[in-house]
Amino acid sequence: MPQIVSLANDLLLNFSVLIAGLFAISLTFRQPDWPESWRRILTRYLTSVTTAFLLMINTVSVASGLSFDFRSVLVALAAQRNGVLAGLLIALPIGVYRLYVRGPAAFPGVLNLVLVALLAGKATGLFRLMPRWEHSIQTTCQQAVLTFLTANLTVFVAFWLVGRPPADALPVYVVFSSISVLGMVVGEYVTYTRLAALARAQSLEQLAYVDPLTGAFNRRMFDESLREFPPGSFLLLLDLDRFKRINDTYGHVVGDQVLICLVQMLQAEIRSVDRVYRLGGEEFGVLLAPGSAEQVRMRVERLRAEVEQSLATKTGLTEETITVSGGLVLIVEEPRTALANADRLLYSAKAAGRNMILSNLR
């Protein structure tokens, strides 16, 4: 009885190390549309390997020369989420250490890790830089059963190498496979909880910072971004000319479509480092990262011409011509000063006849 209690305590300790490690790994995940950085990937990898070694240090002794820990669960989860190669990369230092320590179960232990990586990662493919977000607990449970019932057949090899009969290996195989499946499912739930929290945060961010009609960032986000964009950036304010007449003549549904199409045209023209904002009504702002003033001026003028030529057609108003007026400034020091200057240029463009973008660029 004391031996069973000691075994259960060791197993619980090993399981606790696994959960703590997986929680630490989950902290490296970011929102699904955020690009992965190599620093974050490396941190995730080192945390996984460190957790695996902590599990091996706190291993559970089953029989002479035979032990158990949850290291293979880490390999399985990495392979399931990022592909076979990710699982093998985590298995590599663990396997090397296991062979260095030697013992009769060293080879079966390494073989087990390789099989786990191959089986758990087969649905994901060789390697994914962006982790999969769409796993369900049910899918993980099915994959865990298939993975560990197959990979843990190496238990019979380990018992044969230490001269134990296969009958002795059967209960160990069943127990190892069962708790490995449990470890993978609980581990996936830890990760799933983190990813669900990130998804909720992204949803709330959408509500707080994105205009629901056009998909552009809203005024709140514009005010924050204006403070964050570095000196040397450019600010473009745009306003649709005579937009009230469009609404009064064709209705607000058509007017909304004009706003949506304009944002799509802006987003297609700008670079990935630039941002589009709906400031209110038919007024929009574009923050452009530092670059050549001449190229920015040309890009903005090309956009104005494209709006004049095709915005009305894209919204089904073939008999109309829809134009924009704007003000373009270089952000030198105080962002609010740049905003006031761009606004003044915008109204000057309106007063000068519309369908033009005035700037203070030289």
Contact present, 275 and 217 (Cβ < 8 Å): yes
Annotated active-site residue 294? The verdict is no
One DSSP character per residue, 1-57 reads -HHHHHHHHHHHHHHHHHHHHHHHHHTT---TTSPPPHHHHHHHHHHHHHHHHHHHH
Give the distance from CA 271 to its chain's centroid: 20
Q: Is 243 left (phi over 0), alpha (psi -120 to 50) or beta?
A: alpha
Sign of dihedral through CA atoms 12, 13, 17, 18?
Answer: negative
DSSP 164: -
249, amino acid identity: T
Report whether 225 contacts 339 (CB < 8 A): no
Q: Pick the catalytic residue from 282, 294, 320, 333.
A: 282
Q: What CA–CA distances, in Å, run from 162 to 104, 310, 349?
A: 6, 78, 88
Distance in angstroms (rounded) separating the CA atoms of residues 280 and 187:
46
Residue in this structure with the two tokens 């158990």, named with its chain if needed: 68
| Inter-residue contact 184 to 201 (CB < 8 Å) | no
Looking up tokens 């998909």 gives 215
Could you give the C-alpha distances from 294 to 281, 299, 304, 337, 338, in angstroms and in order? 30, 9, 15, 22, 18
Instruction: Determine the Cα–Cα distance for residues 121 and 85; give it in Å rounded to an integer.
Output: 8
Query: What does the alpha-carbon distance between residue 179 and residue 218 come to, in Å, rounded to a whole number?
Result: 50
Hey, which residues are catalytic here?
Answer: 282
